[in-house]
Amino acid sequence: MTAQTRSRTPETLKTRVHGAAAPRAPRVVVGGVGIDPVGEDEVVAWVAGELAAGRGGRIVTPNVDICRAVRRDPGLAELVAGADVVVADGMPLVWAARLRGTPLPGRVTGADLIWSLSAMAARAGWPVYLLGGPPGVAEAAAGELARRCPGLEVRGVDAPPYGFDRTAEGRERVRRKVVAARPAIVFAGFGFPRQDLLIAELRRDLPEAWFLGCGAAIGFAAGTVSRAPAWMRRRGLEWLHRLMTEPRRLARRYLVDDLPFAARLLITSALRRCLPRGRRA
C-alpha cells in the first residue's frame, strides 16, 4: 500500500476498554502526514494493551521538519504512514488541524512519552532499552528514568558512534545488542529518519516489542539537554528555546527551512476551511 493510499484510507488507532477494542477516529492528514487524533494517555493505554497481547509496534511523532522531509521523499512518507501510532509532536500541526476543522487533542511528544511509557513499563514489569545519544548520556537517562519510575528495569543502553548506521556492520552490531537484551520497549534517539529506518529493521527481529523514535528525548531525560519551560511548550515556543540553546546547529533548520513551511501550512489550512467542501483537496 502506498503512502498516498494510506492517507486517503487512514488506519484507526484502537483503545482497549475492559478487554474489548474500541475503534477511534481515522487519522487526520496535516502537512501530508496522517496523524492519530489521540492524547498521550490513550497512546500509553494502547501500547500497554498491545504488549499484554504479545503484539509490538512503532510510534512516530512528526513535527514540521518531519513533514517537510515527507513532502520531499515518498519513501519517508511510506515509512511514517506505516507506523502503528502517529502523533503530533509539533504545535503548528495541532494549530493547522484546528484551522482545517479537524482538531487534534494536542501535542504528544517523544520527550513526554519516554516518561509515561517508562512509568507504565515499571508498573507492568516490562523492560526497556535506551538507544542513542552521546557517550554516557543514555546511562544517565537510564538512571533518571529508574529513579523516577520505581521498579523500572532498564535492560540495556547503547550509544553507537555517529555514522554507525551507514554500514551494514555498524547496524548489525547494534541489532545484536538489542535483540540479545529482549526489551519490551525501545527508545531510539537518533533523529528522523535515521532512528525510524533503524527501527524498521529492528522490528523484524523483535516483533513483540514497541519502539519509539524519540529524537532528543534521551538527552532531555538525562538532563544533558535543556528542555523548554512548560509555559513555552504550551504556547508552541519550544522551538525558540531550542534555537536559543543550540543556535549554530538549529538556526538554518528552524528559521530558513521550517518557519516558512509552517507559515504556508497554517495559511493553506485556514484557506482550505473556507473553500466549499467539494473543492477541498
As a three-state string, the secondary structure of 151-173 is: CCCEEEEECCCCCHHHCHHHHHH
Which range of residues forms the domain containing residue 37? 19-89+104-258
- Distance (Å, rounded) from C-alpha 21 to C-alpha 28? 20
Say whether pLDDT at 248 is over 90.
no
Q: How many residues does the chain have?
A: 281
Residue 94 placed within a domain: no
Pairing label, strands 210-213, 185-189: parallel
CB atoms under 10 Å from CB of 138, counted, come to: 25
Residue 127 placed within a domain: yes
Residue 71 placed within a domain: yes
pLDDT level of residue 205 (50, 70, 90 thresholds): very high
pLDDT level of residue 19 (50, 70, 90 thresholds): very low
Q: Is 269 helix (H, G, I), strand (E, B) or coil?
A: helix
The pTM is what?
A: 0.87
Residue 187 placed within a domain: yes
Q: Share the mean pLDDT of the chain.
A: 89
Grid coordinates standing for 75?
A: 519513501
Rounded percentage of the chain residues whose pLDDT exceeds 70: 88
Say whether pLDDT at 280 is over 80.
no
- Distance (Å, rounded) from C-alpha 199 to C-alpha 78? 14
Tell how far CA 202 is from the center of its chain: 16
Number of domains in the chain: 1
Which CATH number goes with the domain that contains 62?
Answer: 3.40.50.2300
